[in-house]
Amino acid sequence: MANEIRLYLDQLGYLPMERKRFILTGASRPFEVVRQKDGEPVLRGTTSPAIADEASGVEAGKGDFSDLHEPGRYRIRAAGLSEDAELVIGDGVYDDLHQGLLKAFYYLRCGTELSAPYAAPWTHEPCHLTRAEVYGSKETREVSGGWHDAGDYGRYTLAGAVAVADLLLAYEYNPQAFAKRLPLPESAEGTMPDVLHECKYELDFLLKMQETDGGAYHKVTTYHFCGLDVMPEDDTGPLVLSPISSTATGTLAAVMALAARVYRPWDADFAARCLTSAEAAWSWLLQHPEGLLFHNPPGVFTGEYGDVSDADERYWAAAELFRTTGREEFHRAIRDTVEKGEVDLCELGWARVGGYGTIAYLRTERSLVDTGLRNRLREIWLAKAEEYQEIAERDGFGVVLEARDYNWGSNMELLNRAQHLLVAYREDANRRFRQTALEQLHYLLGRNVVGQSYVTGFGTKPLRRPHYRPGVGDGIEEAVPGMVSGGANPGLQDDYARKHLAGRAPAASFEDHELSYSMNEITIYWNSPAVFVTSFFAFAGE
Ligand code: G3I
Ligand code: 9MR
Ligand code: ZN
């Protein structure tokens, strides 16, 4: 209905001591919060003056109930609301979400059976075990394992590297959030946390993607995407290793150097293998200074993950190798990149990885770093955090995206900016940054103009029909839980979106339908920043 008043809130709940706000469309009005069990009013307030919000296309105000700290179940009432809104306040409201987001990577495993104790009812047989043809040659390689990228069954080196990096960084920042077993088949193998078991499943695959000269193949896929209802084990077309690229090789060098640090206390041999791989990839980069940017070769029609520069991947590789080894050659490469000024030093996500390089340098042992350079990077990082802070404070829904930022994978951009704010928070203990990062979780979990939780299995209106082949092919009504949708995208980049979404405001450009891959696919590097962000707020995170 045109003038119906709508209330939007985090459908999982709110943490007792954090800022708590809901969004109410229409003019400012009184509201009250009552206890669910006896209807006792516990807080009264008035929503802020409504502002015309460009990204969502509605006029909305915010209802602040931050003074309510008592954990429990409540209802929110306001004039014009057709029904009360259900509200939860509690310390552990994100604990199950955190576990679910991480377990989603297990469901994306390729090359192995997903067995009942860990995956029921979403089990499937092993898949994609055949040797892959090296594009354009008669040679083949054994490259089984790793994670399916997304709704498709491709396995893409740089996408996998970025996803692993988010998860390992989350573990480095908040180990306490990863103590509880998921569980996984490897859980009983000792005391190594499951997040490290799961990342090793991808890292073992990424090691296979490295050629003897140190270069990394860009991807292993079939030549075409298979049908949307094809189960992994039924996707039996020939596998092809697409050519080595400098972007894949740069991200491989980076993530292997990062892994060498993280796994050293748990599996020294594996950590050593990772470092050897990182150094081999780095030497390949030195031998190919001109770069080798990737485009799908003739006859290959799967995801491209193209790029216009590999300078950011080289920067990230140098920074991780410097943090792990302390060797001056890597330090020089970092300095040269910063001096040249061609790399965005803050961007995160699959295409621009300079931010991961800056995080690596900011977290390098102080005795190794150049204090002037570190301070410069810190200033750049905090200035960008202030920019994000201002965007969120201006936005009618408290979102860190401007209208133009809603593109394919807008939830990745949102979560990457939340990651940025949390890294800034740990740099200068500015709690505003942590608070704004938390507001992005509220958006992801229902406080948005479509009233949608963008995560399968979580929220009162959870994601149900992502563009995800096993979910279409398995005939099971319930979606695998813990998968993050790419989210609102006004780009109309698939047939379904063109047919159903034309003319909508950017943040309203979403429907939960499996036919739309440009707004409702899931991917490993949309789940991985979500794990990073929730790790600060789950299991008494800080
Ligand atoms: O950044 C520009 C923005 O400046 C511009 O205004 C806007 C106009 O539409 O485009 C923006 O770039 C978009 C880019 O994603 C970043 O959001 C491109 O249009 C869009 O084509 C691009 O989409 C990528 C998509 O593959 C198609 O290439 C997604 O980032 C990427 O996540 C997605 O990755 C796919 C894999 O290929 C296959 N596996 C599934 C995976 C997820 O859908
Ligand atoms: O399923 C594919 C998805 O993973 C990709 O992100 C998307 C864009 O590359 O392509 C999807 O595959 C579609 C193909 O591009 C066009 N025919 C329908 C395919 C299934 O939706
Ligand atoms: Zn597979």
Last residue of a domain, one of 63, 89, 115: 89
Task: Report the CATH number at residue 405.
Answer: 1.50.10.10
One domain for residues 184 and 223 = yes
pLDDT value of position 540: 80
Domain holding 259, by residue range, is: 95-449+521-535
**215 part of a folded domain:** yes
Task: Report the CATH number at residue 43.
Answer: 2.60.40.10
**23 part of a folded domain:** yes
**500 part of a folded domain:** no
One domain for residues 72 and 125 = no
Last residue of a domain, one of 61, 89, 117: 89
pLDDT value of position 2: 52
- Report the largest interatomic distance among the alpha carbons of the chain, rounded to a whole angstrom: 75
pLDDT in tens, 147-164: 999 999 999 999 999 999
Distances 175 to 180, 335, 507, 540 between C-alpha atoms, Å: 10, 31, 34, 11
**473 part of a folded domain:** no
Q: What is d(CA 486, CA 100) in angstroms, rounded to the nearest whole number?
A: 17
Which protein residues touch ligand 2 with a CB less than 6 Å away?
Answer: 150-152, 225, 228, 303, 517, 521
Q: What is d(CA 485, CA 496) in angstroms, rounded to the nearest whole number?
A: 16
Last residue of a domain, one of 47, 69, 89: 89
> Could you tell me which residues are beta bridge partners of residue 159?
none
Q: What is d(CA 40, CA 75) in angstroms, rounded to the nearest whole number?
A: 10
Question: How much is the pTM?
Answer: 0.98
* Protein residue whose Cα sits closest to atom 16 of ligand 1: 408
One domain for residues 43 and 156 = no
Closest CA to 239 of 150, 167, 302: 302
How many domains, the chain? 2
Name the catalytic one among 98, 279, 467, 494.
467
One domain for residues 80 and 159 = no
- 3-state DSSP assignment of residue 65: coil
Which residues of the chain fall below pLDDT 50?
Answer: 1
One domain for residues 45 and 123 = no
Residues 6+ apart with CB under 8 A from 50: 25, 26, 27, 28, 59, 60, 61
One domain for residues 77 and 115 = no
pLDDT value of position 248: 98
One domain for residues 73 and 158 = no
Q: Which residues of 464-488 are buried (b: 16+ CB within 10 A; e: fewer)?
A: bbbbbbbbbbbeeeebbbbbbbbbb
Token pair 């060797």 in the structure block, residue: 327
String of DSSP letters for 152-209:
S--EEHHHHHHHHHHHHHHHHH-GGGG-S----TTGGGSSS-HHHHHHHHHHHHHHHT
Closest CA to 201 of 163, 244, 169, 258: 163
Rounded to the nearest angstrom, the distance between the alpha carbon of 518 and the centre of ligand 1 is 8
Would residue 467 show up in a list of annotated catalytic residues for this protein? yes
Whether cis (ω within 30° of 0) applies to the bond prior to 470 is no
**203 part of a folded domain:** yes
Average pLDDT, the chain: 97
One domain for residues 42 and 113 = no
**Tokens at 494, concatenated:** 């698939």
One domain for residues 57 and 129 = no
CA quadruple 473, 479, 481, 486: dihedral sign:
positive
One domain for residues 285 and 361 = yes
Please name which ligand lies nearest the alpha carbon of 349. 1
pLDDT value of position 3: 66
Rounded to the nearest angstrom, the distance between the alpha carbon of 305 and the centre of ligand 1 is 9
One domain for residues 28 and 113 = no
**247 part of a folded domain:** yes
pLDDT in tens, 443-466: 999 999 999 999 999 999 999 999
One domain for residues 65 and 198 = no
**390 part of a folded domain:** yes
**305 part of a folded domain:** yes
